[in-house]
């Protein structure tokens, strides 16, 4: 994502080279459930949370209240750039994140208690962006400890005029900014389902529409993380639409 250093500084203020194994694109995953919001457990992944944004809710407080058990936004004004309260609404079965070039958005998916407890699991979002050239988004698994060396998993991430990427960060203290990337080859301008399958201490697999992009077996986190996203406050106007989001716990 453009201005990655801004993201790092903001995370620190608000909250307090990995080896990749290529897997042939086209190798499917049983955990992919098509374009509809998935329901039920899949293999070693037990569904914890699913939200399809079926209730219409305006910004400026109504969305946050309606989806209080699904979405935990950063407080407005956080980091001098995030104003989720004014930028996020829902309509037509979509979460609508407005990009106005002035206000960014950030928050965590899940309930107020469970959102911070993920140690492994599957994390999926179906998303699409319109406009917003020069801006971008980063969906990520960020350590609940706020200790960067506990591992950062970013997917999808990138400017909206570019292809979404995966960034898998080093867990070596002092070298956390080092990350190996993997390209999806798809476009933010079309609907796609982006998934991370994380088995603690063993592997992280990145998938688009159920097809494996890359599998990681080094620098794999073992501690609690939360599933969240950030959108910047620069670039052209536009929208980030989220059709649904689902998280699963890894149960082995």
pLDDT band at 16 (very low <50, low <70, confident <90, very high): very low
Rg (C-alpha) for the chain, rounded Å, is 16
Residue 202: other Cβ atoms inside 10 A: 12
- Residue burial 56-91, b: 16+ Cβ < 10 Å; e: rest: ebebeeebbebbeebbbbbeeebbebbbbbebbbbe
pLDDT tens, residue by residue, 178-214: 998 999 999 999 999 999 999 999 999 999 999 999 9
What is the predicted pLDDT for the residue at 35? Answer: 73
What is the predicted pLDDT for the residue at 64? Answer: 94
What is the predicted pLDDT for the residue at 36? Answer: 80
pLDDT tens, residue by residue, 46-92: 999 999 999 999 999 899 999 999 999 999 998 889 999 999 999 99
SS3 219: coil
pLDDT tens, residue by residue, 25-40: 333 333 333 478 888 8
What is the predicted pLDDT for the residue at 31? Answer: 37
pLDDT-above-90 percentage for the chain: 79
pLDDT band at 146 (very low <50, low <70, confident <90, very high): very high
Report residue 190: phi and psi, to 5°. -120, 155
- Nearest in space to 141 (alpha carbons), one of 250, 67, 236, 29: 250
């Amino acid at each position: 994502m453009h201005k990655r250093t801004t993201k790092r500084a903001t995370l620190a203020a608000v909250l307090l080279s990995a080896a990749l194994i290529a897997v042939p694109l086209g190798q499917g995953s049983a955990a992919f459930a098509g374009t509809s919001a998935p329901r039920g457990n899949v293999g070693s992944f037990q569904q914890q949370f699913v939200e399809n944004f079926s209730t219409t809710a305006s910004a400026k407080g109504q969305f946050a209240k309606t989806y209080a058990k699904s979405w935990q936004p950063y407080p407005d004004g956080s980091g001098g750039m995030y104003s989720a309260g004014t930028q996020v609404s829902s309509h037509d079965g979509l979460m609508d994140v407005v990009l106005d070039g002035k206000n960014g958005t950030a928050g965590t998916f899940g309930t107020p208690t469970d959102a911070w407890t993920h140690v492994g699991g599957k994390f999926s979002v179906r998303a699409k962006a319109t406009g917003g050239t020069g801006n971008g988004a980063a969906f990520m698994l960020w350590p609940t400890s706020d200790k960067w060396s506990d591992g950062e998993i970013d997917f999808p991430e990138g400017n909206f005029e570019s292809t979404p990427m995966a960034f898998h960060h080093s867990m070596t203290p002092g070298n956390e900014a080092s990350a190996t990337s993997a390209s999806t080859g798809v476009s933010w301008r079309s609907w796609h389902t982006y998934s991370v399958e994380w088995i603690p201490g063993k592997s992280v697999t990145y998938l688009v529409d159920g097809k494996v992009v890359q599998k990681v077996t080094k620098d794999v986190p073992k501690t609690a993380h939360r599933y969240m996203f950030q959108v910047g406050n620069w670039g052209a106007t536009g929208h980030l639409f989220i059709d649904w989001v689902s998280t699963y716990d890894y149960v082995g």
